[in-house]
């Protein structure tokens, strides 16, 4: 009888534990699930709504973060759980395509202006930021902080050749 009671109690505890594990099925970010208390201190320093609307995605997700070098950035992007495997491969395909465009640009085989390549680069960075900003805000901030440094490499033929 005592065994049966113990088993019942253990069962209830385990089922309750499972219910807790199953509760976030949508993969909602911890930031979204944070209690209102966590947001309260930020309110006094928040910019007025008109200013906030003008901010880019990058500036919204970017608390001060030092720019990362390319190798570190690639490693962190590979390791993040914020993006699925197929999404990572798709992004890598698009990065490879952009690098191929730069190679063609520097070799003179295409006449695409640099401004066009810059637009493609900016779009790609925005895609990455939008994928990261909710689930891995620190990496999103690092990407945003590295944006100009990476462009500096891509837009410099000597630095690009060394990649």
Partner 1 sequence: MKMRIAGAAIAILLTTGIAAPAQAADDAAVRKDLFTVITLQGLPCGEVVSVTTKAENDHIASCKDGNRYHVFLNAAGRVVVEKQ
Binding site for partner 1 (CB under 8 A): 3-4, 7, 10-11, 14-15, 18, 21-22, 25-27, 83-87, 89-91, 93-94, 127, 131
Minimum CB distance to partner 1 smaller for 15 or for 52: 15
Minimum CB distance to partner 1 smaller for 72 or for 90: 90
What lies within 8 Å, CB to CB, of 77 at 6+ separation is 83, 88, 91, 128, 139, 143
CB of 125: closest distance to partner 1 in angstroms? 14
CB of 159: closest distance to partner 1 in angstroms? 26
Give the residue among 101, 141, 148 at the shortest CA–CA distance from 120.
Answer: 101
Minimum CB distance to partner 1 smaller for 12 or for 70: 12
Minimum CB distance to partner 1 smaller for 91 or for 150: 91
CB of 90: closest distance to partner 1 in angstroms? 5
CB of 76: closest distance to partner 1 in angstroms? 18
Helix runs in 41-110, H state only: 49-54, 57-61, 70-79, 85-107
Minimum CB distance to partner 1 smaller for 84 or for 157: 84
Contact 150, 77 (CB under 8 A): no
CB of 4: closest distance to partner 1 in angstroms? 7
Q: For the CA atoms of 16, 21, 23, 25, what is the dihedral angle to 10 degrees?
A: -150
Give the residue among 25, 9, 139, 159 at the shortest CA–CA distance from 75.
Answer: 139
Contact 61, 129 (CB under 8 A): yes
């Amino acid at each position: 009888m005592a065994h049966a009671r113990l088993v019942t109690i253990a069962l209830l505890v385990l089922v309750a534990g499972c219910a807790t594990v199953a509760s976030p099925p949508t993969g909602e970010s911890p930031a979204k699930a944070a209690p209102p208390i966590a947001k309260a201190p930020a309110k006094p320093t928040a910019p007025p709504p008109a200013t906030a609307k003008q901010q880019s995605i990058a500036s919204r997700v970017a608390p001060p973060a030092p720019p990362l070098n390319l190798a570190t950035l690639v490693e962190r992007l590979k390791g993040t759980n914020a993006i699925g495997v197929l999404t990572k491969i798709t992004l890598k395909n698009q990065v490879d395509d952009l690098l191929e465009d730069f190679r063609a640009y520097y070799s003179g085989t295409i006449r695409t202006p640099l401004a066009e390549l810059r637009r493609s680069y900016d779009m790609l960075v925005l895609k990455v930021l939008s994928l990261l900003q909710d689930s891995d805000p620190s990496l999103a901030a690092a990407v945003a902080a590295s944006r100009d440094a990476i462009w500096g490499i891509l837009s410099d033929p000597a630095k690009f050749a060394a990649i």
